[in-house]
Amino acid sequence: MGGQLSLWQQSFPPKPQWGVNDIPDLTGKVILVTGKTGIGKETVKHLLAHNAKVYLAARSAQRANEAIAELKNETGKQAIFLQLDLSDISAVRKSAQEFLSKESQLHVLINNAGVMVPPKEQVTVQTYDMQFGTNVIGNYLSSSGHWLLTELLLPALFAATDASPSHEKARIVTGLDFDPLADGPTRTRYGELELYNKSKFGNVDVACELARRYGDKIVSTSLNPGNIRTELQRSMPGWQSTIVNRIMYPPSKGALTQLYCVTAPSAVDANGKFFIPWALASRTRPL
């Protein structure tokens, strides 16, 4: 019953009490957002509008640059493209190296990009399940996806903390049976949606572990952005996406919670917490 009530509350949240007009001036802040469409694009828009220096990390240079051009028309500010393929360990390492060659500090990392219910036969370059490898980490020893990206960028996150007033910390938000889910019988016995759910729980697990390890230096939170109408549903069957889209909100709503987590002064004390729509602290299932 508790799980059903929580699902209902997160699917039909109350009117938000915090909005983009509450975002403070972000001049001097360096922020990296993964994902070029939907929630990611909407997030970048509001960060640019409040004077942050924003890197938009995505796999497709063409589509990312199209988004950057559109955002410049809307905000008058220019985001910076960073090539990033979360499904390939070597590509993630290359992206992190490129970022660190340009910036010594990273004030905010928003792990926003992801995939949802692609065909089960799709795997990452290193043959992890595509959803788990992209959305989360592969595993802690030979990590891929967002865990590896975060791990490689920790020096810049720590440097931002060291250079800030004592009350400020760099922030990370990650928008999940912890199995490496390498391709094989263990992975293929799960359905696409179950694999997606595992990847989401892995995101929460990673965020909590970052908070536990580095809570004196960074603020790490995880969240459910809400039922948001984006390209994330592109792999769903047509009949299913039609039904789902009827109860979904626009990306502008989906960006609210992660914008709160990374910009609101009150969220600096939210280390390890899980947030639900719209910008409300909640609880996760025990890890």
For residue 181, give the nearest of 238, 271, 120 by alpha carbon: 120
* Separation CA 229–CA 227 (nearest Å): 7
* Separation CA 223–CA 95 (nearest Å): 24
Write out the catalytic residue numbers.
196, 200
The count of other CB atoms within 10 Å of the CB of residue 266 is: 10
Please give the single-letter amino acid code of residue 111.
Answer: N
Residue 221, H or E segment: strand 218-223
The count of other CB atoms within 10 Å of the CB of residue 71 is: 23
* Separation CA 229–CA 207 (nearest Å): 24
Annotate 31-47 with DSSP letters as a single string.
EEEE-SSHHHHHHHHHH
Alpha helices in the chain (DSSP H): 2-11, 38-49, 61-75, 89-102, 130-135, 145-162, 185-188, 192-214, 238-245, 251-263
Q: What is the DSSP letter of 123?
A: B
Quick check: 47 and 171 in contact, CB under 8 A? no
